[in-house]
Amino acid sequence: MTCRALGGGLLLADSTRGPPPHLFNTNVWLNIRVRLEDRVLAALTVTDGMTRAELVEALGLSATAVGPVVAALVESGRLHVERADGGSAAGGGRDGGGPGSRRRGRPTGLLRVPGPVGVVATVTASVAEPRVGVATMSGRRAWSAAVELPTGGPGAPLEAVVRAALDRAASCAEGPVRHVVLSVPAPFRFGVAEPFAMPASGPAYDTPIRDDPSPGLAAALGIPVSAENDANLAALGELDAGAGRGHSDLIHLLLDGDSLGAGLVLDGRLHRGAAGFGGEIAHIHVDDLGAPCACGSRGCLTGRLGQPMIEAVEAAWGVPVTWAGLLQLAESDDLRAQRVLVDLGRLIGRPLADLVTILNPGAVILDGRLGAAGRWVAAGIRDQIDRYTAPGAAATVGVVGGELPDAVAVGGARLVRTEALAALRTAGGGRAGSPSRSARAAD
Ligand SMILES: [Zn+2]
């Protein structure tokens, strides 16, 4: 499989010293205690570069505190200033208080750490269908691909999945992997894993995660690791660089042939819920006599989606059907397939309509992987919102398609930026309790 990247690679010319290696070889973000100089370098590395104003805001410090440090780093060549037009870096003394910088005034370009652009590898925590998404630290470029396990098959430990994913990422990534994010396709409490009564195994979750595997994996791999629910990551991705831009309140639906999850963004922040169950729309109760569910309940919405839905379609049509095939049929004007997708939208849309009344989001965003076929799912959801949502909330919510086929990967990069910048602000006594606008935007 070939690498798929959005846009060209960006490699800075110099290889002078960047941030200390120890900033990137352990889970340091939550315990970092380093000098302002190192925090500046770390903040610029984890974001792929910022303007001076963005840097000051991200660290929660004053311009007078940050300015001299930046000037010294530029003077020594440890930072470059990239012009707004994307031209060559301007390092050395021109921006460090020398005659050139006086003539030009304060630069308006991006401050960047010389060297290759780092990437975040977001790995699906699944031995049955492992995938890896790779995004630059800024999230501006991303791709994803399936992963082949060398030892293959169920039973392979999660570490083997991540190692195989990193090998796959290294074959295409335009820079070093700075951070691994585990994308968990199941309810997951950030930093804890599953504190509620999930079964040890079951058809819904091929790789149950009882405890947060991040610390153990970080120690084994020598690279920082975070873990987050996949629907939450996708919501962060669309919020960061897709259809969610400009929205402070949105619901994103991660939907494929096997699963449904919702990521909630409220007041500009990811809403995980008290136990990490926020947004688990697939586990809304819809059938008193429905089958027992992996979540411990019965009659959940998920029992009517995925494989049961595909099997019902196959039985009716008398031909093998896949989820991808269903989407293709709809796009090729197959009215039966379009009807199935509209009805799927209505099925999801009924409980979603109540959620829209309660949360009053500005947008319901569909999985970008649905492509053009998503419009029939959107039509079904719109139908239910118009019928059941309170008019005041229905009138202001848009039901739109996602813009990112790799939203989970982009969301992984955003999650890492959020963690890192929050830790860097706290480390320096910044305004951790009242995060700046740019810091909030990273959440
Ligand atoms: Zn359930």
Q: What is the pLDDT of residues 124-157, one digit of tens each?
A: 988 888 899 999 988 888 888 888 887 655 555 7
The per-residue b/e assignment along 294-310, b for 16 or more CB within 10 angstroms, e otherwise, is bbeeebbbbbbbbeebb
- Residue 272 tokens read as 């995980």
Task: Report residue 268's pLDDT band, with 50, 70 and 90 as the boundaries.
Answer: very high
User: What are the helix (H) ranges across 360-441?
Assistant: 374-388, 391-394, 407-427, 437-441
357-370 per-position pLDDT tens digit: 999 999 999 999 99
Task: Report residue 419's pLDDT band, with 50, 70 and 90 as the boundaries.
Answer: confident
CA 200 to chain CA centroid, nearest Å:
26
Q: What is the 323 CA–ligand 1 centroid distance (Å)?
A: 21
> Could you tell me how many residues make up the chain?
443
Share of the chain above pLDDT 70, in %: 78
User: What are the helix (H) ranges across 304-388?
Assistant: 306-317, 323-331, 335-359, 374-388
Q: What is the 145 CA–ligand 1 centroid distance (Å)?
A: 29
- Residue 301 tokens read as 């919405």
Q: What is the 194 CA–ligand 1 centroid distance (Å)?
A: 14
Residue 383 has pLDDT above 90, yes or no: yes
Please give the Cα distance from 264 to 250 (Å, whole number). Answer: 6
- Residue 97 tokens read as 């208080």
Q: What is the 320 CA–ligand 1 centroid distance (Å)?
A: 27
From 152-161, 165-174, 243-252, 319-328, the region with the lowest mean pLDDT: 152-161
Please give the Cα distance from 208 to 186 (Å, whole number). Answer: 8
Task: Please list, in sequence order, all residues whose beta carbon lies within 8 angstroms of the beta carbon of residue 105, skipping any fewer than 6 positions away.
Answer: none
Q: What is the 294 CA–ligand 1 centroid distance (Å)?
A: 6
Residue 106 or 73, more confident: 73
4-43 per-position pLDDT tens digit: 433 322 222 233 344 444 444 444 444 444 588 889 999 9
Q: Give the strand order in the sheet containing 131-136.
A: 142-146, 131-136, 119-124, 177-184, 225-229
From 57-66, 358-367, 418-427, the region with the lowest mean pLDDT: 418-427
- Judge contact between 250 and 267, C-beta under 8 A: no
196-244 per-position pLDDT tens digit: 545 444 445 666 677 888 898 999 999 999 999 999 999 999 999 999 9
Looking at beta carbons, which pairs linking 335-342 to residues 24 or more positions away fall under 8 Å? 338/376, 340/309, 340/313, 341/373, 341/376, 341/377, 341/380, 342/376, 342/377, 342/379, 342/380, 342/383
Mean pLDDT of the region 321-329: 92
- Judge contact between 384 and 352, C-beta under 8 A: yes
> Residue type at 232?
N
Please, which residues have CB less than 5 A from ligand 1, an ion? Answer: 283, 293, 295, 297, 300
Residue 5, classified by CB atoms within 10 Å of its CB into exposed (0-12), middle (13-18) or buried (19+), is middle
78-125 per-position pLDDT tens digit: 999 987 555 443 333 322 222 223 233 344 688 999 988 889 999 998
CB atoms within 10 A of CB 364: 25
Residue 83 or 303, more confident: 303
pLDDT at 10: 25
Backbone torsions φ then ψ of 407, nearest 5 degrees: -60, -35
